[in-house]
Amino acid sequence: MKTTIALILSLLPVAGFAHDYTLGDLKIAHPIARETTATAMSSAGYLSITNNGDTDASLVEVRADFPRVMIHDTKMENDVASMFHVDEIVIPAGETVTFAPGGKHVMFMGLNGDPMEIGEQVPATLVFKDAGEIDIMFNVEEIKAGHNH
């Protein structure tokens, strides 16, 4: 993992630049992942997806080089936030869905001693039901709880 990231970093200009991606009618903006401590077993990724098309889109899978990667949403019950797995995130036609702390996020699990450090980039693939797949990079940043993009 570290080797891959170092190689990718050397091929890119400066980490931290605003970055977004286009897949057909979908625009994926500013994917970022949370910096972790050395012993953390998981991290979360955030981004926003805008659907400029006439039909709803659906994110059904995120792939990355970790033992498990899932799409999570968060719910409040009795003032306690808990996250749960979802099979898909629908991005309605003409709307933007934002993944952010306290809400929807991509869960990277099984870091196992290889923390995410500020400035690293995490390669991932977003898989949509009809629109196909796109390779993106999550920039690792310090993300404070409740911080929104």
Residue with Cβ nearer Cu ion (72 or 149): 72
Q: Shortest gap between Cβ of 109 and Cu ion (angstroms)?
A: 8
Assign residue 6 a region (left: φ > 0; alpha: ψ between -120 and 50; beta: otherwise). Answer: alpha
* H helix count then E strand count, the chain: 1, 11
Question: Concatenated DSSP letters for 69-120?
Answer: EEEEEEEEETTEEEEEE-S-EEE-TT-EEE--TTS-EEEEE--TT----TT-
Residue 86 in contact with Cu ion, rule: CB under 5 A: no
CB of 36 to Cu ion, least distance (A): 13
The DSSP bridge partners found for residue 127 are 61, 133
107 in contact with Cu ion (CB under 5 A): yes
Sites for Cu ion among residues 56-75 (CB under 5 A): 72
Q: Given phi > 0 = left and psi -120 to 50 = alpha, else beta, which region is 63?
A: beta
Q: Which is nearer to Cu ion, 83 or 86 (CB)?
A: 83
Interface with Cu ion, residue 83, by CB under 5 A: yes
Task: Work out whether 103 is an interface residue with Cu ion (CB under 5 A).
Answer: no
Q: Which residue has the closest beta carbon to Cu ion?
A: 72
Nearest approach in angstroms of CB 132 to Cu ion is 25
30 is a contact residue toward Cu ion (CB under 5 A)? no
Stretch that binds Cu ion, among 21-29, 102-110, 112-120, 134-142 (CB under 5 A): 102-110
Nearer to Cu ion by Cβ, of 8 and 83: the residue is 83
Closest CA relative to residue 49, chosen from 97, 100, 102: 97
Q: In the complex, which residues of this chain contact Cu ion (CB under 5 A)?
A: 72, 83, 107
